[in-house]
Amino acid sequence: MKYIGPHVSIKENISLSAVRAHELSATGFAIFTKNQRQWKAPQLKEEDAALFRSEMRKYGYSPSAVLPHAGYLINPATPDEELKKKSLALFLDEAGRTVSLGLEMLNIHPGAFKEGTAEDGIKRAAAMMDEVMDQVPGIRIAIENTAGAGTVLGSSFEELDMLLSSIRNKDRTGFTLDTAHLFGAGFDVKNDPDGVLDAFFARFGKEKLFGMHLNDSMVPHASKKDRHESIGRGLIGLEAFTAIVRRRETDDIPLILETPDETLWKDEIRTLLEAAAD
């Protein structure tokens, strides 16, 4: 089955995210487990987590159809000790929230190394991810590729491979491929989406694709920038997304829209589901 849907709001109550996804006819969706731009948030109440799990069952969403996204403040690769402590605490909190919601995976950016070498940043990021998995046994981590701005890690398959190789809990670690980030990093996802995916599978295996973010791009190929556009309205184009959703390897994993125009989400979902069924 294709699990296609947008990143929906948790406003008012996190359980409403499943309702909002259902109203869009989404077969999967993404959420933040708390405010993504704050270090702290009220503790997740068990009654709210239970209601979320109940709404998931009510609307037929399996845990594998939902991909929570970790907050933007977390930097696993940071050399700054204070930021490292805060990032780890927040990472652990969000991993715990994810498991409490009955979900399996947490999407995380690999972070920016800021100073020194990329290899140093990779070692720090790997150590933090292992610590989270050690302390939260039920969690799997989906590392998101990046467009490659500045010292941000994860814009090449080589760096992602180095990061995976540095992690002890490899069996619980995989990747989320973001199409806009691939495009910005220089992958020819517009003209050869199958070739890009084949290169990923050749290096990592099909089982390491934990999810995808399906985003068109406002900015040019190899720009090292990340500006999302609605499906088919950007520089990647609809044909590439049609090819992606038709692949068997994208069955049964979250395929998440992070596109900017919410009024188009329902149409985007329908278009992609229809393309996948052809």
- DSSP codes joined into one string, 120-161: HHHHHHHHHHHHHHHH-TT-EEEEEP----TTBS-SSHHHHH
In residues, how long is the chain? 278
**Residue 105: pLDDT over 90:** yes
Residue 275 confidence class, pLDDT cut points 50, 70, 90: very high
Quick: pLDDT tens for 252-263: 999 999 999 999
Across the chain, where does the E strand assignment appear? Answer: 3-6, 29-31, 66-68, 105-108, 140-144, 173-178, 209-213, 216-217, 228-229, 254-257
Residue 37 confidence class, pLDDT cut points 50, 70, 90: confident
Residue 38 confidence class, pLDDT cut points 50, 70, 90: confident
CATH number of 3-277: 3.20.20.150
Instruction: For the beta carbon of residue 46, count every other beta carbon within 10 angstroms.
Output: 9
The CA-to-CA distance between both ends of the chain, in Å, stands at 13
Share of the chain above pLDDT 90, in %: 97
**Residue 36: pLDDT over 90:** no
pLDDT of residue 41: 85
Quick: pLDDT tens for 123-158: 999 999 999 999 999 999 999 999 999 999 999 999
Q: Residue 24 has which token pair?
A: 């869009």
Q: Residue 160 has which token pair?
A: 């992602």
Phi-psi group of 111: left, alpha or beta (phi > 0 → left; psi -120 to 50 → alpha; rest → beta): left
- Select from 164, 144, 178, 153 the least CA-distant residue to 259: 178
Half-sphere exposure of 242 (CA within 13 A, CB side): 9
The Cα–Cα gap between 87 and 196 comes to 32
The mean predicted confidence, pLDDT, of the chain is: 97
Q: Which distant-in-sequence residues (6+ apart) come within 8 Å of 60 by Cβ?
A: none
pLDDT of residue 278: 86
**Global model pTM greater than 0.85:** yes
Q: What would the mean pLDDT of 60-73 be, rounded to a whole number? A: 97
**Residue 199: pLDDT over 90:** yes
Catalytic residues: 37, 69, 72, 109, 144, 178, 181, 213, 226, 228, 258
pLDDT of residue 40: 87
Q: For residue 81, what is the enclosing H or E element? A: helix 81-100
Q: What would the mean pLDDT of 185-189 be, rounded to a whole number? A: 98
Order the strands of the 3-6 sheet from edge to edge.
Answer: 3-6, 254-257, 209-213, 173-178, 140-144, 105-108
Amino acid residing at 80: D
Could you give the 3-state DSSP secondary structure of residue 213?
Answer: strand
The ranges assigned to domains in the chain are 3-277
Q: Residue 216 has which token pair?
A: 């068109």
Q: Are 140 and 104 in contact (CB under 8 A)?
A: yes
pLDDT of residue 101: 98
